[in-house]
Every structure is written in structure tokens, then in C-alpha cells.
Amino acid sequence: MTVETPTSVTIMLVASINGQIRAAANHFAKANQGNIAVIFAIALVPLLSFIGAAIDYSRLNHARSSMQAALDSTALMVSKDLSQGIITPDEINTKAQLYFSALYNNKDANSVTISATYTPSTTMGSTVQVNGSGAVVTDFMKVAGFPDLNFSTSSTAAWGNVRMRVAMALDNTGSMADDGKMPALQTASKNLIDQLSALAKSPGDVYISIIPFAKDVNVGPSNYNQSWVDFTAWDAANGTCSNTNYTTKSSCIANNNRTWTPKNHSTWNGCVWDRDKDYDTLNPAPTPSNTATLFPTEQWSACPVPLKALSYDWTALKNLIDAMTPNGNTNQGIGVAWAWQSLAQTAQHKKKSPATTAGLFDFEK
């Protein structure tokens, strides 16, 4: 018979427990029945954080959108009161606060403040700018250290006149003689002048140029000595030969014993045609040293009436329109190009009084 001592019993018990622990550990490592619950528990915290942040931001956006709508209406109402003389500039903040308070009732917004600024003269006319700000107390993001979210927005209302420059390129070609087109154009153009001139509260608020065009544009025969016109082709077509049997420069100078004498440039009728490519579609200032940038002159028999530079002499502008007659071929491009020229703001443009126009680069502005 074998008798087990206490020591041997203890050793066997410890070995049995260790074996059970190892078996349980191996079983735990191989188990996969609770993975979804564990992963969900781990992911729950960031998911709840994202959802909470989305809720807080949604409340913030709603508060800001509501404020924007209220500021828009406030700016419009204050600007109307100012333009009609109902309030003075010193009263705009008080009036803006009253209008805004009646319009804005978002319960999530705290620490709401607004201010209104009046500017009597800007590129947009007179303006009122209303600025607003506030904060939303967070429900979820406070856990992440954001107890509140700030927001701000603004609205601007503009009214009144700004300086307006309008170029009217008017078709004077022969086809305008049909079906009452020219009288209709003249009536519509003068009506437009009346409408635009009515917007001017003081002289110079509105300027208008008139560009009658056909195949050519007439820049005015008085500009014959301007540096921006080119008489090269004109000199070849307008002159006299020492032998009167020859009427063109090419035939005249075919024999060295003959000479061609161009006419005096003061006899030019004022017509110009397109500049050389690509200057016909661009708007650089003419450079006397670069002939391609100059405007070629032409003695065209169907030359339209001279253009009128930017002006606020409404009577003179409408008289010019009445003087237009339909004649000649069509070149829409030159009409648009010269309308563009009349509006150009290059360094060569020199300000003149509304009653005087010395040349292309003396257009009134």
C-alpha cells in the first residue's frame, strides 16, 4: 500500500490547477462568440461622440442661418429708412437692434450682439452693413472641452447711384433703311438716354458715348493731326500726280519723272477702319512708333456721322442720334471695338470737360 505524504498531495493539486488554467486560457484564446459585442463596446464611445458633435453643429448652423436671414431683412429695412429720411445715420444701431430683435428668436443662441455701420459713398453707392454674433451652448462637445460654439455673420444692403459709363454702338448700315429700323433704333436709343440720365443725382454720375458704325467709324475729321491715326493708305489713295493722266499713286510713280502729292490731311472725312491683327480685337493704347497699333484712315464715301465721346450732355447725344442715316456695308466688329475704346481707362485718357473732346485719348471720363 502506497501512502501519500502531504507534500506530494500539494504538488499534485498545484499541477491540476495549473493544467486547468492553461486549458481555460487556450479555450479563451480560441473563443469568438463575443467579438461583436466587444467591438461594439469599444466603438460606442467615438460613435456617440460623432453623433453628439453632429447634433451640436446642427444647432449651431440653424442658429447662424436664422441670424443671417434676420440680418438680411434688418439691413434692407434700415437702408430703406435711411434712403427715405425716416432715420438719421446716428440712429441706425438703435433701429437695427429693434428690427433684429423682432425677427430673431432662436432659443439655442446666447450672447447675441449686432452692430450696424453706415457708409455714405462706396463703389456700390451708399451701404449699410449689419454684423451679428452669438454662441450655442453644447450638449455633447462639452465633454471634449468645447462648452460652447461661437458663430458670426453679416449682411450688406446698398442703394443709390454709382458712377455709370455706357457705350452705345449703333448700327448705321444700309440695311437699317428697311422696315423702319433706323427710326426705331433712334427712338429706343434716346429713350435709353432718358432712363440712364434720370439715375444721375449730380453731373458726372452717368456718362454715355455714342458710336455710330457701318463699315467704318467716324472719329471726327478734326483729329487729322492726332498721333494715333495712320495716313499711310490714305496718302496713297488721296492725292494728285504731277502728270494728271494718272490718278493713283502706283501708276504715278511707275515713272521716276512723275511725283505723287497726297492731299492735305485736313480734307480727311474722319473715317477709320480696323487696326492690324491682333490689335483689331485688343485694346492697347496706340503707340506712334508701332504702326500696327494705330488706326488706319480711309476716305469712305458712306462714312457715318462722327462718334460722341463719353458725355453727360444729353441734348448733344440725342441730337447726334437724330443725325444718323443708314448707309454702307456692315462691320459690327469695329463698332464694338470703338465702344470698348470709348470706355477704356488707360493712362493716355485725359479728363476733359463734358463739352470738349480733343481726340481718342481725350475721351471724357
Reported as a single tens digit per residue, the pLDDT across 240-297 is 999 888 888 988 988 777 899 999 999 999 999 999 888 888 888 888 999 999 999 9
Residues 201 and 347 in one domain: yes
* Per-residue model confidence (pLDDT) at position 352: 39
Which of 117, 132, 159 represents a domain boundary (last residue)?
159
Residues 223 and 321 in one domain: yes
Residues 203 and 319 in one domain: yes
Sign of the torsion angle spanned by Cα atoms 83, 84, 86, 88: positive
Chain length of the chain: 365
Q: How far is CA 192 from CA 188, 297, 318, 340, 341, in A?
A: 6, 31, 10, 19, 21
Q: Tens digits of per-residue pLDDT, 132-160?
A: 999 999 888 877 788 889 999 999 998 87
Residues 155 and 179 in one domain: no
Bridge partners (DSSP) of residue 154 are: 131
Which of 125, 159, 193 represents a domain boundary (last residue)?
159
- Which of 130, 134, 158, 151 lies closest to 72, judged by CA? 130
Count of domains observed in the chain = 2
The whole model's pTM is what?
Answer: 0.56
Judged against a pLDDT cut of 50, whether residue 184 lies above it is answered with: yes
**Could you tell me if residue 3 is inside a domain?**
no
- The residue segments making up the domain with residue 290 are 164-231+268-362
CA neighbours closer than 13 Å in the CB half-sphere of residue 55: 12
**Could you tell me if residue 178 is inside a domain?**
yes
Residues 171 and 152 in one domain: no
Q: How far apart are CA 303 and CA 329, in angstroms?
A: 10
**Could you tell me if residue 8 is inside a domain?**
no
Please name the residue ranges forming H helices in the chain. 6-30, 35-83, 92-103, 181-197, 232-237, 249-252, 314-323, 332-343
CA of residue 29 relative to chain centroid, distance: 69
CA dihedral 280, 284, 287, 293 (to 10 degrees): -10
Judged against a pLDDT cut of 60, whether residue 44 lies above it is answered with: no
CATH number at residue 187: 3.40.50
Amino acid of residue 64:
R
Which of 108, 137, 159 represents a domain boundary (last residue)?
159
Residues 345 and 225 in one domain: yes
**Could you tell me if residue 132 is inside a domain?**
yes
**Could you tell me if residue 248 is inside a domain?**
no
User: Which range is least confidently modeled, 57-61, 188-192, 268-272?
Assistant: 57-61
CB 354 within 8 A of CB 313: yes
Pairing of the two strands 164-171 and 206-213: parallel
**Could you tell me if residue 125 is inside a domain?**
yes
Q: How far apart are CA 324 and CA 338, in angstroms?
A: 17
Residues 191 and 284 in one domain: yes
**Could you tell me if residue 352 is inside a domain?**
yes
**Could you tell me if residue 213 is inside a domain?**
yes
Residues 59 and 107 in one domain: yes
Residues 57 and 199 in one domain: no
Residues 221 and 91 in one domain: no
| Beta carbons within 10 angstroms of residue 272's beta carbon | 25
